[in-house]
Chains A and B, each alone.
Chain A
Amino acid sequence: MSIAAINEQLLRAIGVGVAVVRASDFGFVFHNQPFAEWFGTPGPHAALTDAIEGLSPEDLGPLCEEGLRYSAELKIKRKRRTLVFAINISLASHLDEALLVVECQNITRIRELESMIDSYSAMVERNTRELEREKERVERLLLNLMPRQVYEEFKTFGVVTPQLYPQVSVVMLDFVNFTDFASRTDPTVTLGELNDIFTAFDRIVEQFGCERIKTIGDAYLAVSGMPEPVPEHATAVAHCATRFLRYLDRRNQSHQHKWQARIGLGTGSAVGSVVGIQKYVYDVFGPAVNLASRLQVFANPMKIVAPAEMKEALSEEFRVTDIGPEDIKGIGEVHLVNVGGELSTPQPASRF
């Protein structure tokens, strides 16, 4: 078999539609099988521009005159199917007669797949964004239940090791006559009021670098000095306490419902941990918490009571007056002090 015969055989066999036409009249010299399948077998006098609809003699003008390669993507309807062909035509002018070599590839499937890839990438990106948002929501939720440092430990290891913090201070606030208020007020109003007040408390607590641990009914508990140790933990909780009262005082002037609270401060050690397996919640317990809880009962409405051991830490910044010794259930005799207003405007000790 001659080389020419082998070449022709190859042209017939490939999946690309190939045709050779005269540049003078676009009459066919050769076409292979795929070309005939797509564009029909050209008759003896058929021209290329007749066989391929959408291809005009004007398109091929620059090609024949200047030898520029012609490339186009043509959509051609075959029965019910619209097929997309990439058509390349080049001039083979070094022969005796100028001939055009026509290559046609069916790129319908490629175009379909490309558009699917685009569509799926968009879908994956959308799903990823939704997952991210969901993750952030879960994170925000968990950060409401536990301090960030504890959350990071929980996220990494799946558990939180209970930790003893030897030097922390606690502020515990309880509303006066809350049960009475709750029983004679619509629950949604009660909840709305509490939500409003606790949200304001949260902002105060954050401002002074403390950590709100929980609310138990109408009681509000925050700590300073855990999970990260803070040297000025006593003054931090005292500042929160005075701000809580000042906030309530101002709120009462413009709101229908008047709220009064008692506040107890405590200092000492506390244990912090995530309690529970399924309904886990970060909790603190220990002497400092018990002390604050007990002392709060000793406070008059809109007053703050602290153990005398906090006096030294607080006296520089607050008006501290002695109350005297009191027998505290489960703790014994404790010297108490009353913490009044701030002596000067404090610098908020933000942790950030």
Chain B
Amino acid sequence: MPQSIYEKYGGFSAISRVVMTFYEMALESDQIGDYFADVDMARLIDHQTKFISSLLGGPASFSDERLEAVHRALAISHEDFDEMGALLKAALEQHGLSEPDVRTTLSAIEAKRNIIVARTAA
């Protein structure tokens, strides 16, 4: 079985560093920062690390139903989603993921766009 991106970069510890960097950037972003102003960051980082890990072949799993449920009330727009993708790309690059692996990761996230972006904002 080919090695997953999750395994290739060192599992949870590596992914969690990317996610932490991502949230530092996200909090600074005027586009999406306010979404994170009042959330419990420890829990969010934990969830997000498991989520990204699950997309990259890690052991955690998230159902699309759950993903939809947690984002339903947030009214996330396509612009927000694009900004999130751009920041995640920067975070992945900063942590040394190769260009093809960054692309794979982003396309895995992109596949979830319709679940995360609010239906009415589409």
Which A residues contact B (CB, under 8 angstroms)?
Answer: 79-82, 108-109, 111-112, 114-116, 119-120, 123, 127
Is A116 touching B27 in the complex (CB atoms < 8 A)?
no
Pair B49/A116 contact, Cβ less than 8 Å: yes
Whether, in the assembled complex, B110 has its beta carbon less than 8 Å from a beta carbon of chain A, the answer is: no
Shortest Cβ gap from A116 to chain B (Å): 5
Q: Which of B50-106 contact A (CB under 8 A)?
A: 50, 59-60
A81 touching B27, Cβ below 8 Å: yes
Residues of B near A115 (CB, < 8 A) are 42-43, 46
Given contacts A112-B20, A115-B46, A116-B49, whether A82 and B41 have CB atoms under 8 Å apart is yes
Given contacts A81-B41, A116-B46, 8 further A-B contacts (CB under 8 A): A108-B41, A111-B42, A112-B20, A114-B42, A115-B42, A116-B16, A116-B42, A119-B46
- B49 proximity list for chain A (CB < 8 A): 116
The interface residues of chain A lying within 8 Å CB-to-CB of B43 are 115
Chain B contact residues: over half helix, strand or loop, or mixed?
helix
Closest residue of chain A to B49, judged by CB? A116
Give the tally of cross-chain contacts (CB within 8 A): 32
B37 at the A interface (CB under 8 A): yes
Assess whether A112 is in contact with B42, with CB atoms less than 8 Å apart: yes
26 A-B Cβ contacts within 8 A? A79-B27, A80-B27, A80-B33, A80-B34, A80-B36, A80-B37, A81-B41, A82-B41, A108-B41, A111-B42, A112-B20, A112-B42, A112-B45, A114-B42, A115-B43, A115-B46, A116-B16, A116-B45, A116-B46, A119-B46, A119-B50, A120-B12, A123-B50, A123-B59, A123-B60, A127-B59
The chain B residue sitting closest to A108, CB to CB, is B41
**B27 — which chain A residues lie within 8 A by C-beta?**
79-81
* CA A106 to CA B46, docked complex, whole Å: 19
CB distance from B102 to the nearest CB of A (A): 23
Q: How far is the CA of A315 from the CA of B13 in the complex (A)?
A: 73
Query: Quick one: which of B19-48 are within 8 Å of A by CB?
Result: 20, 27, 33-34, 36-37, 41-43, 45-46
B50: shortest Cβ distance to chain A, in Å?
7
| A114 to B41 Cα, complex, angstroms | 12
Chain B residues whose C-beta falls within 8 Å of the C-beta of A108 in the assembled complex: 41
For the complex, give the distance between the alpha carbons of A108 and B20 in Å: 12
- Closest Cβ of chain A to B67, distance in Å, is 17
Nearest to A112 among chain B residues (CB) is B42
Residues in A neighbouring B36, C-beta threshold 8 A: 80
Q: Which residues from chain B contact A109 at a C-beta distance below 8 Å?
A: 20
- Which residues of chain A are within 8 angstroms of B41 by Cβ–Cβ distance? 81-82, 108, 112
- Expressed in whole angstroms, the Cα–Cα distance for A10 and B54 within the complex equals 45
Cα(A127)–Cα(B54), bound, Å: 14
- The distance from the CB of A338 to the nearest CB of chain B, in whole angstroms, is 61
Closest to B11 in A: A120
How many Å lie between the Cα of A299 and that of B1 in the bound state? Answer: 56
Query: Could you tell me the distance between the alpha carbons of A120 and B41 in the complex, rounded to whole angstroms?
Result: 16
Q: Give every chain A residue within 8 A of B42 (Cβ-Cβ).
A: 111-112, 114-116
**A residues less than 8 Å from B34 (CB atoms):** 80
With a CB–CB cut-off of 8 A, which chain B residues contact A111? 42
For the complex formed, measure the closest distance between the CB of A58 and the CB atoms of chain B, giving whole angstroms.
28
Minimum Cβ distance to chain B for residue A142 (Å) = 24
Question: How distant is the Cα of A109 from the Cα of B41 in the complex, in angstroms?
Answer: 10
- In the assembled complex, the Cα of A276 lies from the Cα of B4 at a distance in Å of 34
Q: Which 6 A-B pairs have CB atoms at the shortest separation, nearest pair first?
A: A115-B42, A80-B37, A112-B42, A119-B46, A80-B27, A116-B46
> CB-CB < 8 A to B60: which residues of A?
123
A140 vs B53: C-alpha distance in the bound complex, in angstroms? 33
Q: Which chain A residue has the least Cβ–Cβ distance from B27?
A: A80
Q: Which of B16, B37, B42, B43 has the most CB atoms of chain A within a 10 A radius of its CB?
A: B42
Q: How far is the CB of A258 from chain B (nearest CB, A)?
A: 51
Most B-side CB within 10 Å, residue of A80, A81, A123: A80
Q: What is the CA–CA distance of A236 and B27 in the complex, to the nearest angstrom?
A: 76
Residue of A nearest to B39 (CB): A82
Instruction: Specify which chain A residues have a CB less than 8 angstroms from the CB of B59 in the assembled complex.
Output: 123, 127
